[in-house]
Amino acid sequence: MSNLPPSMPRACSNFRLRQLMRRVSQHYDAELGKTGLKTTQYSLLQHVARLGPIRPGALAAAMTIDASTLTRNLKPLAATGWVAITPGADARTHRVAITAAGREKCREAKRHWQAAQAGLIERLGMERVLALHALIDTALELLPARGTGPAHA
């Protein structure tokens, strides 16, 4: 017997959200994979294109990811020549910037991202996608990022 009241969800919210996220990621990765990029790499390229040249710490903060995750994700982009990591103002700092090849890869990938977005809307319907975005926005407001304290005083 469960100790949850009858009106409570029986499934774990974390597990269900991870299931959904895996399916959505698979959908986008299938389309973006045609460009040689993963969804995470495309997002990173887009951020560098928009914000760069930028210090890695500031980029990680802007993307709300750990510095170690950023470093791991930047390596293949730098190896392909889509981003450049150059010395910063002093010996301890670096800057991340998109290259011309990276800008071209972003343009190519954007067409595939748009196709993935359109496909998701086609599968779920615009009303569900808008409702999902509204629910996500509300949840993000109510669940603060780790270490930032309560969302509302």
3-class secondary-structure state, position 85: strand
Residue 153 confidence (pLDDT) above 50? no
Q: Which helix (H) or strand (E) holds 73?
A: helix 67-79
Confidence of residue 4 (pLDDT cuts 50, 70, 90): low
Identify the CATH number of the domain defined by range 24-142.
1.10.10.10
In the chain, what are the domain boundaries?
24-142
Count other Cβ atoms within 10 Å, centred on residue 59.
21
Diameter of the chain measured on Cα atoms: 62
Q: What is the mean pLDDT of the chain?
A: 90
- As a whole-number percent, the residues of the chain with pLDDT over 70 amount to 92
> How many whole angstroms separate alpha carbon 135 and alpha carbon 64?
20
- As a whole-number percent, the residues of the chain with pLDDT over 90 amount to 80
Return contacts of 73-78, CB within 8 angstroms, 24+ apart. 73/40, 73/41, 73/44, 74/44, 76/41, 77/41, 77/44, 77/45, 77/102
Question: Regarding predicted confidence, which is higher, 28 or 144?
Answer: 28
The pTM of this model reads 0.79
